[in-house]
Amino acid sequence: MDIAIVLSLIAGVAWAVNIVVVRWALDRSSAPPMAGAFIGVAVAAACALAVAVVAGGDPPSGGLIWRFALVGAIAPGSSQGFFVSSIKAIGPARSSVLVSTNPIWSVLLAILFLDEGWRVPILIGTALVVAGGVLISWEPGLGFRHLGVILALIVAVTFGVRDVVAREFTSETDLSIWWAASVVLVTAALVVALIGGVQHRGEFASGVVRAAPSFVWSGLAIGVALPALFAALDRSRVGVVAPLTNAAQSVMVVILGAAVFGARERTPRILVALVFVVAGGTLITAT
């Protein structure tokens, strides 16, 4: 099996673990979502930085720092709070399937800016992934106006932009994946802290303390997912990596979510949407 496919699957499974852990942590903690989001990216940043130092290699210079800092500011920086809030509002499985619509943005942006070319199977597969997201959005009681749905779709757009920007930058440098992930995650932690501090002011610090014991596991999952995603993007097209990662993520979220939270995360509509997502990812991978 191609290494890029393996890395994409690892990234997808790790993102799924993160999503389920976030829902579990939200149930256990009274902290605001932004505090939990900060703990997740901060712990992931510490892990990535530690591995980068141990693995060796030259740290990034000024020019590379701003490039990967831009990626971190986009996602998970600006999007992590939205993602956590969406998981809290509509649950991990629904949030995951909706966020998995990001290949439509990844593929379109890659075609426009990276010259990846129009491939009919990739476009059909992307359409299937998006169809799964539409099914979730039409679920009774939700609809496109539901806050959780809106937040998940915003996250999908930011993830699409992240994938394209990361693909462009990783293909232009031989910088260690761990150093790149460190810059991305440190920047993301700073952005989340800034947003959380503005939103909650004096309550943010105490919220971080309350969130830490539960959300630390989210950080460990992100610390695996992001470097694996970057390594996959360094080896293959966005149009392959993004849909495959999201298909793996959606499958594992439904499996883990059903095991942890029960029937509310495995409704027939969720399962049908999941079939669309997996079919789309498989079609794209087979091209």
pLDDT tens string 35-83: 999 999 999 999 999 999 988 777 877 777 888 898 889 888 888 888 9
Q: H-helix or E-strand containing 1?
A: none
Mean pLDDT of the region 235-247: 81
For residue 63, the enclosing domain spans 3-285
Pick from 6-20, 88-102, 142-156: least confident: 142-156
Question: Does the pLDDT of residue 144 top 60, yes or no?
Answer: no
pLDDT recorded at residue 210: 92
User: Token pair 């976030």 is at which residue?
Assistant: 22
Q: Angle 200-202-207 (CA atoms, 0-180°, nearest 5)?
A: 70
58 vs 52: CA distance, rounded Å: 9
Identify the DSSP state of 91.
-
Q: What percent of the chain has pLDDT over 90?
A: 28
pLDDT recorded at residue 222: 95
Nearest to 104 by CA among 145, 150, 161: 161
Question: Does the pLDDT of residue 145 top 60, yes or no?
Answer: no
Check the CA dihedral 201-162-7-186 and report its sign: negative
Contact between 32 and 196 under an 8 Å Cβ cutoff? The reply is yes
- Residue that wins the pLDDT comparison between 222 and 80: 222
pLDDT recorded at residue 286: 64
Mean pLDDT of the region 92-114: 78
Q: To the nearest whole number, what is the mean pLDDT of the chain?
A: 84
Centre a 10 Å sphere on the Cβ of residue 259 and count the other Cβ atoms it contains. Answer: 11
Go through 177-199 and write b for each residue having 16 or more CB atoms within 10 A of its CB, e for each that does not.
bbbbbbbbbbbbbbbbbebbeee
Contact between 221 and 185 under an 8 Å Cβ cutoff? The reply is no
pLDDT recorded at residue 89: 86
Count of domains forming the chain: 1
